[in-house]
Amino acid sequence: MDISVVVPLYNEDESLPELVAWIEKVMNENNFTYEVILVDDGSNDNSWKVIESLAEKNKNLRGISFQRNYGKSAALYCGFEAVEGDVVITMDADLQDSPDEIPELYYMIVRDGSDLVSGWKKKRYDPISKTLPSKFFNATARLFTGIKLHDFNSGLKAYKKKVVKSIEIYGEMHRYIPVLAKRAGFRKIDEKVIEHRARKYGRTKFGLSRFVNGYLDLLSVIFISKFGKSPMHFFGLLGTLMFIIGFIMAAYLGIDKLVCMSKNIPAILVTDSPYFYIALAVMVIGTQLFLAGFIGELVSRNSSDRNKYLIDKRF
């Protein structure tokens, strides 16, 4: 099979018939063998009924429905588990991503050898309250990750099949799939300018809170990328340094007291010095950090699959 299209969705019953028909038209025009996997993320409208109705007419359509809303990362994770195509395309269900981009994305993977191609909505039809924070967020992500993409959060992306089978998406990490792919050893990450269309039905499911969460997730993915498999390398090193600093401070106070006593110089008790308690606090914090790294190392070595999503229906 040439292409698997994974579409996570939440309350998009109005746009689904048009989207599926559009994808089918593009695939037939280019003679692609394909499948479309619609992942209903616990919608409370008629999305699943629409999916079932569409599947009766299109043998290439498959559906997954969650019992409740888990989020876009969960939908992509389960969609990636189900894909069979050599190239995997992800896109949103709101018709803001154009299926006409699929052939070129496919050829960038197959012909040009890209591991991952991310869409860049260079010209956007969103309000400035959404575009300005997005630009700032993407600039920060480029700076900290070293991946030169203009739009990390673009829903329209293309992957080699082995990329989606090699990465683990959880929480809200769908924003940082390129970072996870790079961490998994896939280095050829490219970008393509894509058409951005104004929303035709419904309203956006994301508010300004996603930008705050995005920065928190950025810190998480950076830390996990560097220390996820060996938390002792971070906490252990920091804890050891703090313990040594505290020990040196306490030792200095003790030695200074002994020197004063040997020369019959009046000196206050070590425990009367505020520096003693600062040194003690630094040593205690250092010990706690070291133990946090040790516990994290045990959890990392013995962790089981964290992705347990309750699927209500599928076909």
**What confidence tens digit (pLDDT) does each residue in 188-202 have?**
999 999 988 877 776
Query: How far apart, in Å, are the Cα atoms of 94 and each of 7, 58, 200, 207, 275?
Result: 10, 20, 7, 16, 61
pLDDT at 7 over 70: yes
- Confidence grade of residue 101 (pLDDT, cut at 50, 70, 90): very high
- Confidence grade of residue 176 (pLDDT, cut at 50, 70, 90): confident
56 phi and psi angles, rounded to 5 deg: -65, -25
Q: Residue 296: what pLDDT?
A: 79
Query: How far is Cα 211 from Cα 137, in angstroms, rounded to an integer?
Result: 7
Query: How far is Cα 176 from Cα 186, in angstroms, rounded to an integer?
Result: 14
Q: What is the rounded average pLDDT of the residues 70-80?
A: 94
The more confidently predicted of residues 262 and 5 is: 5
Q: Which residues pair with residue 193 across a beta bridge?
A: 120
pLDDT at 306 over 60: no
Q: Residue 197: what pLDDT?
A: 80
Query: How far is Cα 33 from Cα 150, in angstroms, rounded to an integer?
Result: 31
Q: What is the pTM of this model?
A: 0.74
Query: How far is Cα 260 from Cα 286, in angstroms, rounded to an integer?
Result: 29
Provide the sign of the torsion angle of the four alpha carbons 91, 103, 78, 137, taken in this order.
Answer: negative
Query: How far is Cα 304 from Cα 315, in angstroms, rounded to an integer?
Result: 27
Of all residues in the chain, what percent carry a pLDDT higher than 70? 88
The more confidently predicted of residues 14 and 213 is: 14
- Confidence grade of residue 228 (pLDDT, cut at 50, 70, 90): low
Query: How far is Cα 221 from Cα 48, in angstroms, rounded to an integer?
Result: 33
Residue 159 DSSP SS3: strand
Query: How far apart, in Å, are the Cα atoms of 251 and each of 11, 25, 246, 261, 311?
Result: 65, 77, 9, 15, 60
| Residue of 4, 36, 34 whose CA lies nearest to 19 | 36
Q: Residue 308: what pLDDT?
A: 54
pLDDT at 167 over 80: yes
Mean of per-residue pLDDT scores for the chain: 87
Residues 134-163: pLDDT tens digits?
A: 788 888 888 888 899 999 889 999 999 999
Of all residues in the chain, what percent carry a pLDDT higher than 90? 56
Instruction: Extract the runs of DSSP E, i.e. beta strands, from 137-253.
Output: 157-160, 189-193
The alpha carbon of residue 175 and the mean position of all alpha carbons in its chain are separated, in whole angstroms, by: 4
Q: Which residue's structure tokens are 């490219």?
A: 190
Contact 84, 1 (CB under 8 A): yes
Q: Residue 30: what pLDDT?
A: 97
Our CA dihedral for 102, 107, 112, 118, rounded to 10 degrees, sits at 10
